[in-house]
Amino acid sequence: MSHAEHHVSSIKLLAIIFGGLVFLTVTTVLTAQLDLGSFNVPLAMTIAIAKASLVVVIFMGLKWDNKVNSVIFGLGLLFVAVFISFTLFDTLYRGDLTNTTKGTIQDQVLMEEGLQSREPAPSTLQPDHTP
């Protein structure tokens, strides 16, 4: 084990990061009030990732830490990504062959009821959520 002095982050650096985090929080709350169409989600997520990165790299000191800890953290994120993306392979493409249907029976019933009552069905009741 090579002996290295532990890194000490200066109060100034910590304060700057804290300021940045508060700024980003205010930004994300304000931009969420605007209607940016399909940009709302990516923007909010980008800001969240930026905030989380600041916390991990500076507050948690990963920047100065043993590399193996970065690898561990990275692997954790990688497998979260695997979990999400491989599940989406199913849920986004459910019913791509004839062995099962895309929508549920409940949704179909709701839609039929909506049609029969001849009122415009709330958009939320559409059974088919094609990706």
Is the CB of residue 128 less than 8 Å from the CB of residue 103? yes
Query: Does residue 6 bind other proteins (CB under 8 A)?
Result: yes
- Residue 119 Cβ vs other proteins, minimum distance, rounded to whole Å: 14
Report in angstroms the alpha-carbon separations of 32 from 20, 23, 36, 37, 44: 18, 14, 8, 11, 7
- Residue ranges in 46-65 that form contacts with other proteins under rule CB under 8 A: 47-48, 51-52, 55-56, 58-60, 65
Query: Does residue 1 bind other proteins (CB under 8 A)?
Result: yes
Residue given tokens 């700057």 in the structure block: 16
Rounded CA-CA distance 99/102 in Å is 10
- Residue ranges in 29-48 that form contacts with other proteins under rule CB under 8 A: 29, 32-33, 40-41, 44-45, 47-48
Candidates 84, 118, 119, 120: give the one binding other proteins (CB under 8 A): 84
